[in-house]
Every structure is written in C-alpha cells, then in structure tokens.
Amino acid sequence: MMVRKSMRVAKTVRRPSRSAARLDVDIPVKKVMLEDPVCVGPELSAALARLLMLDQSIGALPVVDDLGRPIGILSKTDIVRRGAPERSSDSEADEAPLCRPSSSENDSEASSLRALESYVASVTEPTVADLMSPTVVSVPAETTVVEAARIMLEHDVHHLPVTGRRGKLVGMLSPFDLVRAIARVTSAKPERKTG
C-alpha cells in the first residue's frame, strides 16, 4: 500500500519530458538571437569602434562589407590584445637614428626627426580591419540552437553572426542567448492534471 501511494505522488509531480525539451531546443536561432545588431565597416577607426562598444554596452561588433555580409568580428579582447602598437624585437633597430648626421650641428635635427617619428607612430590609429578577427563561420537564421552551440564550441567563438538572404547579417548569437534558450526549456512546465 505504501508503494502505491508513493507511485501516485510520483505521478502527480510532472516534469518536462525529454521530447518536450528537445522540441524547445530545436528552435531556430532567429528566435533567440540579437536582431539587427550594431555593426561597423572595416575602415572605421578602432578607437571609435571601442567607444561604440562602450556606448552600446556590447562586447563585440560584427564587421560587414558594403553589401552587409559579415567579414569579421571586433571584440573587446581584440582591442586589448592587438590594440597596443607592436615594437620590433631588435632593440638596436628601435634605437637607430633615422639618418646619420655628418656633423654635431645635425644631431639636433636627427633628434627632432626621431621625436617626430615616435609621435606619428604613437598617434597612428589602427582601423577595425587591423584588429578584427576574420569571420570564419556564420550560420543561417534557420539553424537550430543546438547546432549553433556545437558550431560555437567547435570553432571556439563567443559571437556567431547570423545571416539571412544573400549572406546579409541579420543577427548575432552569443553564449548568453544560448543560456536564455536553455532557461526557457528548463522553465517550461506542462500543466498539471487535476483529479
């Protein structure tokens, strides 16, 4: 008799079935992606792109060509990792003067030229194209959330461009979007039957 009672209790506590969860996870990414994301062109200054990211509170910007097709991603990590000016590993070459003065009067001129070269190098701003990671993969809007997650893991990417007709960017998918989709599945509970 105790066994039957516990079985009845177990029957009244309903959990989502695996098949119901599978149906919810198989929804297309277009239902969970960020639609019409802010995007930039490759020739934009990296400094302006950084300000745009800060203003929009986003971690990455899709980079698109003139037809709106994704060609890269510029992330905060790209800016930090590649934004610092590169220096030659040969320290003697870095310290070599631009020209060799023939007399001591020209020392001041050569020093001024070195200072000018250093200043120009410090203010030369990289473009988005200089810092972005080229887009290796994107997915059509009809791709399932499960497939998109697999692609993100396989390619080790955190932001996945979503394309529509003719390869034009229509959205972006982030790990947060995937977590939100999973949360919807786990919070979906079938109605309890009474009686």
Residue 96 lies in a domain: no
Residue 89 lies in a domain: no
Q: Which residues contact 142 (CB under 8 A, 6 or more apart)?
A: 28, 29, 30
Residue 39 lies in a domain: yes
Domain with 40, as residue range(s), is 18-83+126-187
Whole-model pTM?
0.64
68, pLDDT greater than 60: yes
Q: How far apart are CA 158 and CA 176, in angstroms?
A: 9
Residue 158 lies in a domain: yes
pLDDT of residue 15: 40
**Of residues 51 and 103, more confidently modeled:** 51
Question: Which range among 4-8, 43-47, 69-73, 103-107 shows the weakest confidence by mean pLDDT?
Answer: 4-8
pLDDT of residue 162: 97
What end-to-end distance do the CA atoms of the chain give, in Å?
20
List, for residues 41-57, the tens digit of each pLDDT value.
Answer: 999 999 999 999 999 99
- C-alpha distance from residue 12 to each of 1, 86, 186, 194 (Å): 17, 66, 18, 8
Residue 2 lies in a domain: no
**Local confidence band at 81 (pLDDT 50, 70, 90 cut-offs):** confident
| Averaged pLDDT, 67-71 | 96
Residue 109 lies in a domain: no
CATH assignment at residue 143 = 3.10.580.10
**Of residues 118 and 132, more confidently modeled:** 132
pLDDT of residue 133: 93
| CB 181 within 8 Å of CB 32 | yes
Residue 4 lies in a domain: no
Tokens 């030659």 label which residue? Answer: 88
> Among candidates 91, 101, 98, which has minimal Cα distance to 118?
98
Q: How far apart are CA 167 and CA 161, in angstroms?
A: 10
**Of residues 75 and 91, more confidently modeled:** 75
166, pLDDT greater than 60: yes
pLDDT of residue 140: 97
Residue 38 lies in a domain: yes
Please tell me the total count of domains within the chain: 1
138, pLDDT greater than 70: yes
**Of residues 77 and 17, more confidently modeled:** 77
